[in-house]
């Protein structure tokens, strides 16, 4: 997530606080900031353009007006800013931060209790991460990986599939992907808890250096760092294959509903992807219409004569069969 200026942050706060976050225009923001800040519409349009470029907002033209929507949630922004403050002012030390708060009796017993519970939770997550291994998935993993994927098909709009594929179909998918791109599995205590892979973005040879990425984590294990571990390992291999562009096609909804949230968009933004496009009402599931958004990340330089792509089945990754 790129750094934004104080003025850009004020724009984002106004959008996050708006009653209807899905139809923000420059004219609306001019009304909000006109008297208070004296900002002209041209200045607001500049701020909005920068926020789109930095991946905080999406923009869609409708008639003569551009409509802006937040891609980054306030919660995600707040987490990143808190981490930045911890790094900048307290040398990335939680201890230094707590010491700065403690001045005689500044911390109550309740404060201490909550802090202890928080540290215990973090300690547990760290122990779990140290037990996790990322390895190359095998066709034989199909049955166990399908158990991770099936709930997404049955109970969410994260995938637009209606029917859970058979084990044989899933095994074929793994084998097909591994011919050209990596398919990784996350394992902890002998159980598979997530997987990620890269697939063909476009069959034409000119697009060989671009891939479409996907990731699924066991639903009781989300937000424990496994997603980041999988994507970082995936990017490492793709970079060695001379892949340059990562693309993610993500189901999207303006307001969270029982079947879909903005968590995937926020995760990809956190991983350095930026919003590049949106297709409206193109998926129908559970009696509802859903959008698709495209997010993109560059992992290499686009030079005049790029290196030839090395397909995955041509690479030697014995170390990843044991885990990395």
76 in any annotated domain: no
Do 65 and 157 reside in the same domain of the chain? no
Do 55 and 156 reside in the same domain of the chain? no
115 in any annotated domain: no
Per-run averaged pLDDT (10 residues), the chain, 324 residues: 86 88 84 83 92 86 85 78 66 64 63 67 55 92 98 98 98 97 95 97 97 95 83 96 98 94 92 91 97 95 95 76 49
Do 146 and 239 reside in the same domain of the chain? yes
Do 171 and 62 reside in the same domain of the chain? no
For the chain, the domain total comes to 2
CB 174 within 8 A of CB 183: yes
Q: What is the pLDDT of residue 244?
A: 97
pLDDT in tens, 44-65: 999 999 998 888 888 888 888 8
CB 16 within 8 A of CB 32: no
In terms of Cα–Cα distance, which of 4, 10, 12, 8 is closest to 69? Answer: 12
Q: Which domain-ending residue is among 19, 42, 70?
A: 70
Q: What is the pLDDT of residue 54?
A: 86
> Looking at residue 52, which CATH number applies to its domain?
1.10.10.10
Q: What is the pLDDT of residue 124?
A: 54
- Give the range of the structural domain holding residue 242, as residue numbers without chain letter: 133-322
Place of tokens 């930026």: 274
Q: What is the pLDDT of residue 131?
A: 73
């Amino acid at each position: 997530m790129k750094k934004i200026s104080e003025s850009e942050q004020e724009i984002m706060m106004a959008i996050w606080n708006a009653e209807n976050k899905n139809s923000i225009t420059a004219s609306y923001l001019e009304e909000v900031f006109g008297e208070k800040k004296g900002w002209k519409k041209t200045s607001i349009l500049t701020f909005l353009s920068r926020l789109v470029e930095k991946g905080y907002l999406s923009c869609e033209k409708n008639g003569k007006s551009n409509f802006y929507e937040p891609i980054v949630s306030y919660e995600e922004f707040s987490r990143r800013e808190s981490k930045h403050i911890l790094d900048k002012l307290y040398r990335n030390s939680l201890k230094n931060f707590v010491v700065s708060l403690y001045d005689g009796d500044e911390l109550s017993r309740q404060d201490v209790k909550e802090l202890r519970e928080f540290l215990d939770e973090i300690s547990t997550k760290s122990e779990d991460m140290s037990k996790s291994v990322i390895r190359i998935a095998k066709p034989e993993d199909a049955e166990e990986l399908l158990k991770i994927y099936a709930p997404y098909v049955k109970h969410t709009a994260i995938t637009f599939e209606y029917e859970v594929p058979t084990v044989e179909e899933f095994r074929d998918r793994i084998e097909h992907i591994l011919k050209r791109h990596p398919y990784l599995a996350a394992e902890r205590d002998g159980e598979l808890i997530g997987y990620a892979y890269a697939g063909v973005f476009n069959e034409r040879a000119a697009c060989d250096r671009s891939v479409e990425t996907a990731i699924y984590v066991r639903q009781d294990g989300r937000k424990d760092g496994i997603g980041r571990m999988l994507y970082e390992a995936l990017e490492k291999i793709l970079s060695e294959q001379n892949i340059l562009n990562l693309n993610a096609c993500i189901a999207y909804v303006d307001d969270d509903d029982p079947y879909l949230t903005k968590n995937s968009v926020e995760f990809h933004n956190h991983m350095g992807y930026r919003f590049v496009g949106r297709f409206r009402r193109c998926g129908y599931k559970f009696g509802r219409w859903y959008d698709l958004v495209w997010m993109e990340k560059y992992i290499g330089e686009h030079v005049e004569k790029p290196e030839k792509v090395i397909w995955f089945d041509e690479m030697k990754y014995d170390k990843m069969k044991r885990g990395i």
